[in-house]
Structure 1
Amino acid sequence: MKKSILKYFIFFSVLFSCLSATAQKKITGIVKDAVGLTIPGANVKIKDKKAETQTDFDGNFTISAESGDVLIFSFVGMTTTEITIDSRSNYTVVMQELASQLNEVVVVGYGTKKKTDVTGAVSTANLKAFEDSPNPNLAQSLQGSVAGLNVGQTNSAGSTPNISIRGRNSLAGNNNVLIVVDGIVYTGSINDLNPDDVASVDVLKDASSTAIYGAQGANGILMITTKKGNKNKAPQISFSNSYTTQIPTINVEPLDRQDYLDKVRDLYWNKSYLAPDYTVPDPSFNLADYVDDSLVNQGQISGADYNWWDAATKTGSIQDFNLSVSGGGDNMSYLLSASHTDQEGYIINDVSKRTTIRANIDVNLKDWWTVGMQSFATFSDYSGEEPTLSGIIRQAPLVEPFDADGNLIPFPTGTIYSNPFMTYYVDNLDKSNNLFGNFYSDIKFPFIKGLSYRVNFGNNYRWANEYGSSIYGAGLTGSAYKNHSTRYDYTFDNIFTYKRTFAENHELEATFLYGASEREAEDTSATGEGFTDLSLSYNALEQATIQKITSGGWHEALSYQMGRVNYKYKDKYLFTGTIRRDGFSGFAENEKWGVFPSAALGWVITKEDFFKSKVVDLLKLRAGYGSNGNLTSRYFSLSRIGRSSGYVYGDGGSTEFMQQLNTLANANLQWESTGGINLGLDFKLFKGILSGSVEYYNTETKNQLFSRSVPSITGVTSVNVNLGNIQNTGYEFSLTSNNIKNDNFSWSTTFNYSHNDNKILALTGLDEDGNGVEDDIVADNLFIGKSIGTIYAYEAGPIYQIGDVIPTGYYPGTRKVIDQNNDGLIDSNDRVFQGKSEPEFRAGLLNTFTYKDFTLNVFLNTVQGGKDGYLSANEPTYGGRQSEIDNLFNILNNTDFWTPLNPDGINSRYVTAPKVIPSVFYERDFVRLQDVSLSYNFPKSLLDSAGLNSLRLFVSGKNLATWTDWKGWDPETGQGLRDDGRPVLKGYSFGLNVTF
């Protein structure tokens, strides 16, 4: 009996041990979305069992399961995913986004958060909708697509548009947004980033979300995250190629020969037509007597008809190639990519070539230790010089640039006005290079659950060489130069994160940061003038008669500490508190450090028991307050010395130069800081059919950095001070609607709207109620209670016509100036406020249509000025006055000058210039069909036999149509009828994207 009992005991013990061993199999893994971003907080559950867990801050999970168990992964906004446990112990799970949702994980600085847990104003750009657009610069893919993010136009190859967030905060300080790439503050050009390498762009807009970057976050932040590989995935190779042709969006060109001659005739209307009404041609008028002497030979007008514009322009193009390889094993993932973009602008020699290589690698050395890097290298080539475009426009078609032997004529009119091709026929090398690498180590301490430590060491090294020589330089004696510059900066961040869930309902995440950054630069320039032989181009500067060398350099350093706490209770009450302390070497001796706090609350109303609605899926209220700073230029608080003429030794003696103090030091120059509130409401309705957000903000920037003039009797010219406060208020609205969705067809619409009011609250002082007490600074166009872009000028009336009663000093064709105080005089007292340059609102509308394997994206962008907003002066540079220059120079073809035969002309023209010539301000409002793309994804059934994972063909258009009343160059650039403007281009592209 005892033996039987012992036998059964041993049998069941062994069986129990085996079952226990099977049940205790440890399963680990990581959960990511389709673009490679990890998903923290995803729920992991074993099907038909009670065991479950959640992914940690970095998307990792650990759970005990048996072979054959099914793991269920779920997360808000993502499709539920299931995997079956096999012999492996580590898994990479990729969850797909629900069609009705935007990305649910956003980058908020030193970490990520679920969008439902965000308490600040953070928006994610929809990059996918613009992936087929011909945008060699990442910023162009953001234009008009995010409420509150303002991205300007580009009109030259390789250029970067202006970027701002929620208005202008500073009078004279830095107004640029902060760019953070893969967690590291990036000081290089955004043009060096390959758009195809970017996985997401999150925009931090309010003070509570940007305060985490303290002294650098006052103007908003772009959080750029690049793509990564996936673990346990076979190598995947992707290739894309596109070709784009570009032409101007509007037909603006100089006048041809006949129109040019008509311009001269109309310029002298008081001689070419008969009095009294000057509408009947005078038969005795000889045009050759009034065309510039340089264009007339023995009484005959030159017979030339040269098209300078055609010679200086051509159809532009963009060629883009991208290749990437990604994948990974059990303990590592990688993404390797290379790209080449070759852009040739509409103006000849307006060229940009960019080659980029990237390596993003993550390695799990241990279950608790991950190391990796995000790195890229960019090599840009801008070699080649354009002809001087303003000179191309001004040159009359009656002259030619070359003589009979094909040699360039330096001064074709025989005047001081040079041949604009002199800047084109030169030897030029212009190359820049950028190396960026962030190396990190991430440790999750196994002995303290929820505690992790990450160290980032980011490096950015840039160098540029610009060399040139011209036989036409230095008064045709020849000139050459070599410029070399280097930039280096590093960032060293230590980040501790503690994340725990307590008693099921309480979630706490604390982040602590200690970091430092240093930046330095060096520049050297050597020039030579006066060469007997330039056959060696810029490589023999010692042969120059006059040789000059200049050099410079600078160094600056930052140190910072930050603490942030995120708390969540029952998934419905949210709190974020941040405090950051910054020190910057560029600030004044007594003001090196600044402290920037912020706090924000969130309330998910739909989680409340009392809220019952079949219509509202999500309703979250947010409120936050924060403060952040703005870096000054590195020597703004110090005395500055300039070079000026000192003493002449005797008659005809040489001049000795001296150093003279120009700017006084200010040891108490304070930080410029921006603080304010943000109120937000996020919503989703009708089971995700409608979703969006509403934002209101009110911020004030204090201690404006400004250079104040000092009476010259003091011996200096200026002192840099803190002067005045600026307020920005506004509201934003974003809405996404899934209008139709069935098996074969879907249609979604995204709309965004933003409005900003900018106001100067004070300049040099405040009273007890916080109102400005000092006078306006009229010389700098600064007025208390008005916006920075306020227009204060003489008010223009109608153009005086033949037969009008015209006051002394004015003539037919000149514009009336309104005498505001009716004192019979036109002086500075007659200037009035006429409006502002800032717009009333910006809006964007994206419609996406999908039919089976076809996808069509149509995006409209608009900027509207409302009443007296988005105004700019718009008068032709030349062509309005009887003078040598106006007589000689050509003008643009869409000018509309006044003449007695054209009394309704909008551009004034006169015989003698009046004492006061008022500017006329015009609205720049526009609606633009900015992006259209049509793509076709080949069915997988057709691709399997070819061994392809995907194949997509696409065609797209950029800036296809612009509706505006603005005259001249594009309204968004504001260059109008000026001859120093240049066209914005429309593009037509086609391409393919293949993965295998």
Structure 2
Amino acid sequence: FSEAQISEYVNASDRLKFPLPNTWFKTVLRAAPQFSQNVSVSGGNEFFRGRVGVRYQKQGGIAPNFDSDVKEIRANTDFKISNRLSASVDINYRNNNWQTPVSEFNVFNTMFHGSLWAVPKYPDGTYGVSAQGNNPLMYAEIAGLSRNIQDYLFGSGKVEWEIIPNLKFSSQYAIRYTAEQNKNYTNAYTVLDYYNPSLVRKTIPRSSLTEIRSLTRETTLNNLLGYSNTFGQHEVKALVGYSEIQNKYNTINAYREDFYNNDVQSIGAGSDNNKNSGGLDSQWGLRSFFGRVNYALADKYLFEANARYDGSSRFTGDKVYSFFPSFSAGWRLSEEKFFEPLRAVVGELKVRGSWGRTGNQAVGLYSYFQTLNSSTYTFGGSVVQGYVQSNLANPNLTWETTAQTDIGLDAQLWNNRLSFTFDYYDKLTDGILLNLPIPTTVGLNAPPQNAGKVGNKGIELGLTYRNKTKSGFSYEIGGNFAQNNNKVIDLAKTGPYISGSDIDPRYIIKEGLPYNAHWGYKTDGLFQTADEIKAYPTLVPNMKPGDVKYVDLNNDGKINSDDMTFIGLTFPRYTFGLNTNFSYKNFTLFTQWQGAADVDTRLSGALAEMGNYEGFTHKIYTNNYWTPERPNARFPRPVKLDLRNVSTSDRMIIDGSYFRMKTIQLSYSLPKGLLERIKAGRATVYVSGTNLLTFSKLNEWNLDPEAESGRATYYPQTSLTTVGLNVQF
């Protein structure tokens, strides 16, 4: 802005024509009520017990046109047919309805990045827009809606038969139906200039509707045969079983444009000129044979062995089935005679160890054979339907496996007032399912391959102290801490694989580095003089004082991608938590905290630069950028529409460590005398809060430490305050 323009804004009396900076957070975001009701009834006798519960929850959105509601009913029944035969039936139905603006991304993207000088809405209802035609309130209110309905029905039946004493057989069959409907309707609308109605500031001339309907049917069968017995000091348990999952999925979709008006949102009301439709059918299955043996001698020496033989329809031939064994052993030292002198202090001490292999089948359903997509081609002037190969097949694809070794220690001291756990683990994942690149001349999508190894090593600690005073005040304080070191070990002689760009986070998968690490330039402050620039290689020509000084890491006299290196972690190296519970008489105060450290967030988009194409500069840059009078400023000089100062580098990396109060709840249990008068068995009044307090360096950027994006284009974590009453009769 020129000085004259600034003066107009400072001295203006018409704040619609010369608005003050608008904080979109205050304009768009709002307090959102949540209503939740749960009612359940249970009862029965020796031969029958049943429980029926209903739930209704309505959650308002923190921005316009974000809301959801859930209606659910569940019934559980248990039957005692005879002394050795019992059965149970469970039925659950749930209906979810939720809606969001069809341009949800634009709502939050422009709320964080939109121009501060646009008027949200004029008195006549006209929306003010930035030079780019953006307004998050407009996107939320009139751009259109995405409406979603999900119906979920689950039913299961189980029979349990005691064949002979200590030998039981059970069989459970379950079926799940999930029907979903999604309607994404984009409104046609036009925004005119408030002062000059003949000037169109933004227009979406064509309405459109995409409608998707899907149905999932999944059945599960579990058969178990279990044996347990005790022979003197020997306790033996054994289990063998068979399970099977069958899943079928069907979806259809349709698209049309140019509806008569925005009120008739039915797919048949759209124009025939531009329409499309499609569909998909798929099915998969998983079959497992498994067994487990437990042995304990005098409750001191513990042993367990497991074996699984799993088969997946996602693989073919001799790759379908794989064997996954595991073993564990424990020694309860506190039960030994030599431990008796310590037992008054250490009530229990156990060391344990385990090793096991598990499998992962998370890959496309039909990667082992070539797939065809429908296509059209013109022959002799006529359009002919045909099919074209879309991918390469990989019949050698098989299970991704993880082998893990654990060593642990459990202890309880001072009559269980203090409990302690420690674990060390070493995990190796082999045959990681990756889509490795193939030459573009092939013209087909690359198939997934078993082509990687990733290692994880770390420790986990848990410590809890509990006590009760003579006055009746009781408390429990528990903490946990974990450290994980992650490294890519092998990529089958390929790689590295780099994704991202200068304006977005750049990640790398490379042998020897943590998985999906941040990748970019190292920097050495800002250039201060023209002579300094002449004596040093630069990223782009015509660098000026105040621009970022990138490090020539390989000393070849050039700044290019060869100078990029590891600049940060995307997964936290340390995670920790704290739980507290204080009780006095009828009052209870509970808190839950969680946090992470040694993790990084890469700023991107408007948050990473000033004077950008998104028409926004974050307030953190105010009076904090380089000028000759501010040589030690935090940020480089502002340069519009230029990547010289915003290329992916360690300057874009922000410490993503945080410590957050996830939950706090204060409750009061009604006294016994009052319960008797209202004929209730138990009643509790409570007030609780979620995400009320966060300590993080990301706070100054208005970024959520639990979100992946450093661009703030997501629905943020909400702070929720709840007041409730729980009554049991």
Q: Give me the whole-angstrom Cα distance separating, in 1, the residues matched to 2:596 and 2:673.
A: 45
Q: Report what 2:666 is aligned to.
A: 934
Per-residue CA deviations over 1:415-467 (Å, capped at 9, x if unaligned) read 6668762563235531111112221000111xx22111100111111111122
Determine the structure 2 residue equivalent to 1:366. Answer: 82
Indicate yes or no: 2:549 matched with 1:821.
no
| Change in 2 beyond 3 A, CA 1:479/1:749 | same
Report what 2:193 is aligned to: none
Counterpart Cα distance in 1 of 2:382 and 2:24 = 45
**Residue in 2 aligned with 1:727?**
455
One-letter amino acid of the structure 1 residue matched with residue 348 of structure 2: L
1:550 aligns with 2:278: yes
Q: For 1:804-861, what per-residue CA distance to the aligned partner results, in whole angstroms no more than 9, with x for missing partners?
A: 7334432234211111133321012211222322222111111211111111113332
Q: 2:100, 2:634 → 1: CA distance? A: 39
1:176-227, CA deviations, whole angstroms, 9 ceiling, x for partnerless residues?
Answer: xxxxxxxxxxxxxxxxxxxxxxxxxxxxxxxxxxxxxxxxxxxxxxxxxxxx
Matched, 1:616 2:346: yes
Establish whether residue 790 from structure 1 lines up as the match of residue 517 from structure 2: yes
Q: 2:316 aligns with which of 574, 588, 592?
A: 588
**1:421 corresponds to 2:147:** no
Q: Indicate the residue corresponding to 1:345 in structure 2.
A: 61
Distance 1:922 1:397 in 2: 24
Q: Indicate yes or no: 2:154 matched with 1:436.
A: yes
**By how many angstroms is 1:677 displaced?**
1.0
1:663 and 2:378 matched: no
Deviations 1:691-737 (A, max 9, x none): 13111111111111111111122343423211121111111111221
The structure-2 alpha-carbon separation of the partners of 1:879 and 1:559, relative to structure 1 and needing over 3 Å to count, comes to: closer
Q: Report if the CA contact (8 A) 2:260-2:270 is conserved.
A: no
Change (3 A) 1:906 1:362: farther
Listed as ranges, the gaps of 5+ residues in structure 2 are 10-14, 190-202, 500-506, 535-540
Q: Residue by residue, what CA displacement relative to the aligned partner does 1:283-311 show, whole Å, maximum 9, x if unpaired?
A: xx5448999xxxxxxxx994355665444
Residue in 2 that maps onto 1:799: 526
Matches within 5 A, 1:337-736: 337-385=53-101, 388-400=107-119, 406=125, 412=129, 421-422=138-139, 424-425=141-142, 426=144, 428-445=146-163, 448-472=164-188, 475-502=204-231, 504-538=232-266, 540-541=268-269, 543-612=271-340, 613=342, 614-631=344-361, 632-641=363-372, 659-736=387-464
1:859 aligns with 592
Secondary structure of the residue aligned to 1:389 is helix
Larger displacement relative to structure 2 (506-515 or 923-932) = 923-932
2:195 paired residue number: none
RMSD: 3.1
Distance 2:314 2:462 in 1: 39
- Select 1:318's aligned residue among 23, 34, 46: 34
- Cα deviation for residue 560 of structure 1 reads 1.2
Asked if the contact 2:117/2:130 (under 8 Å) is kept, the reply is no
State the Cα deviation string for residues 887-906 of structure 1 (Å, max 9, x = none).
Answer: xx234444455142655543
Quick one: distance in 2 between partners of 1:927 and 1:437?
A: 41
Q: Report 1:740-889 matches (<5 A).
A: 740-742=468-470, 744-764=472-492, 776-777=496-497, 781-801=508-528, 805-807=532-534, 808-865=541-598, 870-875=599-604, 877=606, 880=609, 885=613, 889=615
Q: Does structure 2 conserve the Cα–Cα contact (< 8 Å) formed by 1:925 and 1:971?
A: no
Q: Find the aligned partners of 2:373 and 2:268 in 1 and give their Cα distance.
A: 31
Report SS of the residue matched to 1:806. helix
Shift of 1:480: 2.2
Asked if the contact 2:689/2:722 (under 8 Å) is kept, the reply is yes
Instruction: Return closer, same or farther for 1:958/1:463 CA change in 2, 3 Å cut-off.
Output: same
Deviation at 1:468, TM superposition (A): 4.1
Which one of 592, 616, 630 corresponds to residue 890 of structure 1?
616
- Deviation string, structure 1 residues 877-933 (Cα, Å, up to 9, x no partner): 2684656x35xx234444455142655543434336355724321211112233222
Offset at 1:484?
Answer: 0.8
Map of 1:81-100 to 2, 5 A cutoff? none
Which structure has the highest strand share of the two?
A: 2
**Alpha-carbon spacing, 1:784–1:657, altered in 2? closer, same or farther (3 Å):** farther
Are the equivalent residues in 2 in contact too, given 1:739–1:749 (CA < 8 A)? Answer: no
Structure 2 Cα separation of the partners of residues 947 and 708 of structure 1: 67
Q: Are the aligned partners of 2:16 and 2:119 in contact in 1 as well (CA < 8 Å)?
A: no
Partner-residue secondary structure (3-state), 1:501: strand
Structure with greater contact order relative to length (CA < 8 Å, sep ≥ 6): 1
Q: Distance in 1 between matches of 2:435 and 2:124?
A: 55
Q: 1:876 to 1:547 in 2, by over 3 A?
A: closer
AA in 1 matched with 2:366 = Y
Which segments of 5 or more consecutive residues in structure 1 lack a partner in the other structure? 1-264, 266-271, 273-284, 292-299, 766-773
Moved more, 955-964 or 597-606: 955-964
Tell me the TM-score normalized by structure 1: 0.64
In structure 2, how many angstroms separate the alpha carbons of the residues matched to 1:554 and 1:523? 9
Inter-partner Cα distance in structure 2 for 1:641 and 1:548: 19
Q: Distance in 1 between matches of 2:136 and 2:414?
A: 66
Instruction: Report sequence identity in percent.
Output: 24
Cα 1:459–1:850 change in 2 (3 A) is: same
Q: Quote the Cα distance in structure 1 between the aligned partners of 2:382 and 2:611.
A: 43
- State whether residues 726 and 761 of structure 1, in contact with CA within 8 Å, keep that contact through their aligned partners in structure 2: yes
Counterpart selection for 1:954 from 686, 693, 696: 686
CA distance in 2, matches of 1:979, 1:838: 18
- The answer to whether the 8 Å contact 2:308/2:324 transfers is yes
What per-residue deviation string (whole Å, max 9, x for no partner) do you get for residues 44-76 of structure 1? xxxxxxxxxxxxxxxxxxxxxxxxxxxxxxxxx
Aligned-pair distance for 1:524? 1.0
- Secondary structure of 1:540's counterpart equals helix
Structure-1 separation of matches of 2:263 and 2:722: 41
Retained in 1: the 8 A contact 2:258–2:270? no
Q: Secondary structure of 1:663's match?
A: coil
Q: 1:535 to 1:952 in 2, by over 3 A?
A: closer
- TM-score, reference length from structure 2: 0.86
Distance 1:381 1:601, change over 3 A: same
Distance 1:945 1:416, change over 3 A: closer
Looking at structure 1, the residues matched to 314 and 436 of structure 2 have their Cα atoms a distance apart, in angstroms, of 19
CA gap of 1:287–1:825, structure 2 versus 1, over 3 A, is farther
Larger Rg computed on CA atoms: 1
Matches within 5 A, 1:51-62: none
For residues 63-102 of structure 1, what are the structure 2 equivalents within 5 Å?
A: none
CA contact (8 A) 2:478 2:579 kept: yes
3-state SS of paired residue (2:509): coil
Distance change in 2, residues 1:620/1:935 (3 Å): same
The C-alpha deviation readout for 1:506-555, integer Å capped at 9, x for no partner, is: 22111111121100111111121123445432253354432221111210
- Cα contact 2:114–2:135 (8 A) shared by 1: no
Contact 1:661 / 1:715 at 8 angstroms: preserved in 2? no
CA distance in 2, matches of 1:576, 1:431: 45
Q: Offset of 1:655 from its aligned partner?
A: 9.0
Whether the 8 Å CA contact 1:810–1:914 is kept in 2: the answer is no
Q: How far, CA to CA, are the matches of 2:100 and 2:71 in structure 1?
A: 17
